[in-house]
Amino acid sequence: MLIKNAKVFIDGAFRDVDVRFNEKEILEIGTNLTDSEVIDAKGLDLYAGIIDAHCHGGFLRSFGRESRTDAYGSRYEQVQFLAEKLPSTGVTTVFPTLAMDLSSFAEEKEAVQFIRSIRKDLKGADLMKFHFEGTYLTLDRYIEEGGEYPLPTKEHSDYLVSNDYSDVAFICVAPEMPGALEWIDYVVSKGVIPEAGYTKCTAEEMIAAADHGLATCSHIFNGYQPMHHRESSPVVGIMLDDRIKAQITMDGFHVNPAWVKLVIKAKGIENCYGITDLSSVSGLPNGENVLPDGTVVVTKDGFNWRTDGHILSGNMTMNQIMNRARFTCGLTKEQVGLLFAENPASCLRITDRGKIEAGRKSDFVLMDDNYDVKMTIINGEIFYQKEE
């Protein structure tokens, strides 16, 4: 199959080239290519299928176990719905993200086992690897009163993943916790990328963790001790050390646009990548939404709020956040392309997809200039096409 007449995003620039591929991989990139099957892109922008490394669910479905989603299908139905829905937002690969609290460790262990058991049968976005968020944390506002959170240990992590790290991308840790550096050494030996987050460590402690292999952070600025000019802080350590790749939520609210630009300038855009952080309540209609379990979610201006005014989550999908990064945060079109369509792969050491390059997986998304998804191709076949 061949895609012609697209503006093809490669290496940070839009190029007037054709892309030929089969059901396994990209075969050829160049001009005046031929094939018996041709998609005329009609000037749309062509990106590699997008990797979302931080996604809990969406549209009242969850990758984990949540009582508020029980009315919307069995566990299998919820996960299959998400795999089928995400390509309409440009996502072709997703890391199911499991957030931890004291009551959920056993449930998330069960969620991992369940997704492993059905992954090969799912259609749509590839549930490539797991992301454990907030697993070992110290930031006071996330700790239940009187709770005793587990320390990062080999035994506890082995329990969470059933002694199988082969499909685990990240496990989150506060670097200042007792035993954290030894734990980082252990999970690095298993092929896992240790992730910083929910921490009040110093910049020096963050950099020491990077010395041991900590290599990414959960949505920079959100879940960290705030920056103060008289104090060392975790965010300063992240911005100083380019070994730590920075996830950024670029919806223009979770992180102020000026701070988005600051971290890109401080770290270099090549060390930053975009995420959605979609939650199970993302994708709700505007207004007051009463969920079957009685939870009330107020949805307005692209965000979800509790009735007391506390923000719950963003309400925007990947392509909508790309639009916000461009038109609210004020990034260039090329910067947005890098942050969402190429950098997730390069920052996370993924070499089989996430870039339009011969030999990589034949996953693509065609968008217009406002990031409206027109077509998504997975494994060389059209999976989603917007009805006009």
Mean pLDDT confidence for 7-30: 98
DSSP β-bridge partners for residue 25: 361
The predicted structure's pLDDT at residue 354 = 98
Q: pLDDT exceeding 70 applies to what percent of the chain?
A: 98
Q: Taken in order 161, 166, 170, 173, is the CA torsion positive or negative?
A: positive
CATH label of the domain that carries residue 380: 2.30.40.10
What is the per-residue pLDDT across 36-75, written as a single tens digit (0 to 9) for each?
999 999 999 999 999 999 999 999 999 998 888 999 999 9
Q: Is residue 227 part of a domain?
A: no
Using DSSP's 3-state secondary structure scheme, residue 83 falls into helix
- Please, which pLDDT band fits residue 103 given cuts at 50, 70 and 90? low
From 277, 318, 349, 332, select the one nearest 9 (Cα to Cα). 332
Please, what is the average pLDDT of the chain?
Answer: 95
Q: Is residue 21 part of a domain?
A: yes
Per-residue 3-state assignment (H helix, E strand, C coil) for 139-164: CHHHCCCCCCCCCCCHHHHHHHCCCC
Q: Is residue 379 part of a domain?
A: yes
Range of the domain at 379: 2-46+359-385
Which two tokens mark 87? Answer: 């390509």
What is the per-residue pLDDT across 357-375, written as a single tens digit (0 to 9) for each?
999 999 999 999 999 999 9
Q: Is residue 245 part of a domain?
A: no
Element (H, E) at 260: helix 257-267
H helices present in the chain, as ranges:
75-85, 105-118, 154-160, 180-189, 203-212, 234-240, 257-267, 318-327, 333-337, 343-347
Q: Is residue 380 part of a domain?
A: yes
How far is residue 245's CA from residue 210's CA, in Å, rounded to a whole number?
10
The predicted structure's pLDDT at residue 102 = 62
Q: Is residue 259 part of a domain?
A: no
Q: Concatenate the DSSP letters of all residues of 158-215 into one string.
A: HHHTTT--TTEEEEEE-TTSTTHHHHHHHHHHTT-EEEE-SB---HHHHHHHHHHT--
Q: How far is CA 41 from the centre of its chain?
A: 27
What is the per-residue pLDDT across 192-236, written as a single tens digit (0 to 9) for each?
999 999 999 999 999 999 999 999 999 999 999 999 999 999 999
Which two tokens mark 180? Answer: 């954290």
Q: How far is CA 63 from the centre of its chain?
A: 13
Count the domains in the chain: 1
Q: Is the pLDDT of residue 149 over 90?
A: no
Tell me which residue has tokens 């217009």: 368
Tell me which residue has tokens 């639009």: 323
The CA-atom distances, in angstroms, between 315 and each of 67, 251, 311 are 19, 10, 11
From 388, 356, 304, select the one nearest 60 (Cα to Cα). 304
Residues present in the chain in total:
388
The CA-atom distances, in angstroms, between 82 and each of 31, 94, 109, 167, 215 are 36, 10, 20, 19, 28
The amino acid at 49: G
Q: Is residue 116 part of a domain?
A: no
How far is residue 171's CA from residue 73's CA, in Å, rounded to a whole number?
28
Rounded CA Rg of the chain: 20
- Please, which pLDDT band fits residue 146 given cuts at 50, 70 and 90? low
Q: Is residue 368 part of a domain?
A: yes
